[in-house]
Structure 1
Amino acid sequence: MTVAKGAKPRAAKAAAAVRSSATKAATATTETARDFARKTAAGVEANPVGVLAGGIALGAVIGALVPRSKQEAKLLAPVGKRISDTTRGAIDAAKDTAKAEFDVLGFSRNAARDQVGKMLGGVIKTLATAGTAAVLSAKAKPAAEPAPAPAATPEAAAGPKTTAKKAKTQA
């Protein structure tokens, strides 16, 4: 009977230890969940557009992975057609508005073509003028003159001497 008497207190101790561990685990899990919820809320408040885009992307992925049933196709076909028609109408309205605004500002296909033509004409005229200037510049410079032949004597190299008598007669 001594074995049975010792087992009961040990079982009670083990049960208390399990209760304590379970309580600690539950508290830690609750705190972690609250912390995660706070961080998630802060992230949503800081970047709501990103969360919205992420939700749409996640929905598109899930929608692509889940097969569509016949009943779903039958029920959603009118909605898809209405969304498609509305989108097409919005795009057409945006195109028409943009064309009207461009016309008011003077932007058109013909105006753009004229501007490009003027620009190309200016570039061609500039290149022609630069080419003409280069040719004229090359013609205006005389060809390199040959170097004078070396003189045979130093007196000849100095040139003709004029004496005082010759200078008086020439004057």
Structure 2
Amino acid sequence: MSKTEKKAAKTATAAAPEGKTAATKVTSAYEAAREKATGAVHSTVSLIEANPLAALLGGIALGAAAGALIPRGEKEKALLAPLGDKLAAAAAAAITAGRDAGLDAVKGTALDKEALRSQVSSLFGDAAKAASAAGVAALAAGREKVSG
């Protein structure tokens, strides 16, 4: 064996433990990152399951922000302007119809201060019915305005 080959073999033997240590560190860091990512996913899923309305509103806000930041071209503006006007009118009609239907559904229910304290479970049922009626009315009004 030549002098160069001996030096190379000696260097390789000395570097072998360092290579194993580096591989162990990389594997360890990968596993830690993987565990943190899995934990973050589980945490996010739990948060969404616990607060679906907040997640929905956050998604809508994020979409609106992204839409506001993306520039529009002139052709896009010209093509979408009539649709935007129609959608704005439909949204206004849907909001009005939803508000009116919600107020009608709430009238006559026990939604005063004392009733809220004594009938919490009944309140949630009434509020859900009112929201459902408002949503259905808003959807119907929006569809009518868009199609008409």
TM interval, shorter chain, is 0.5 to 0.7
What's the offset of the Cα at 1:9?
Answer: 0.9
What's the offset of the Cα at 1:77?
Answer: 2.7
Greater RCO, CA 8 A, separation 6+: 2
Q: Deviations over 1:63-83 (max 9, x none)?
A: 222222223324433432231
Q: Give the counterpart of 1:37 among 24, 41, 50.
A: 41
Alignment partner, residue 55 of structure 1 = 59
| TM score, norm. by length of structure 2 | 0.55
Q: In structure 1, what residue type is equivalent to 2:17?
A: K
Q: Deviations over 1:41-100 (max 9, x none)?
A: 0000000111111121222222222222223324433432231121233355568879xx
How far apart, in 2, do the equivalents of 1:21 and 1:31 lie? Answer: 15
Q: Does 1:70 align with 2:64?
A: no
Paired residue total: 100
How far apart, in 1, do the equivalents of 2:43 and 2:101 lie? Answer: 44
Q: Deviations over 1:92-137 (max 9, x none)?
A: 5568879xx7xxxxxxxxxxxxxxxxxxxxxxxxxxxxxxxxxxxx
* SS of residue matched to 1:68: coil
Moved more, 38-47 or 13-22: 13-22
Q: In structure 2, what residue type is equivalent to 1:27?
A: E
- Long gaps (5+) in structure 1: 102-171
How far apart, in 1, do the equivalents of 2:56 and 2:14 lie? Answer: 56
How far apart, in 2, do the equivalents of 1:21 and 1:59 lie? Answer: 40
Q: In structure 1, what residue type is equivalent to 2:35?
A: E
How far apart, in 1, do the equivalents of 2:22 and 2:44 lie? Answer: 32
Aligned-residue identity in percent: 36
* SS of residue matched to 1:37: helix
- Long gaps (5+) in structure 2: 105-148
* Larger proportion of helix: 2
* SS of residue matched to 1:67: coil
Q: Does 1:8 align with 2:12?
A: yes
Q: Please tell me the root mean square deviation across aligned C-alpha atoms, in Å.
A: 2.8
Alignment partner, residue 18 of structure 1 = 22
| TM score, norm. by length of structure 1 | 0.48
Alignment partner, residue 87 of structure 1 = 91
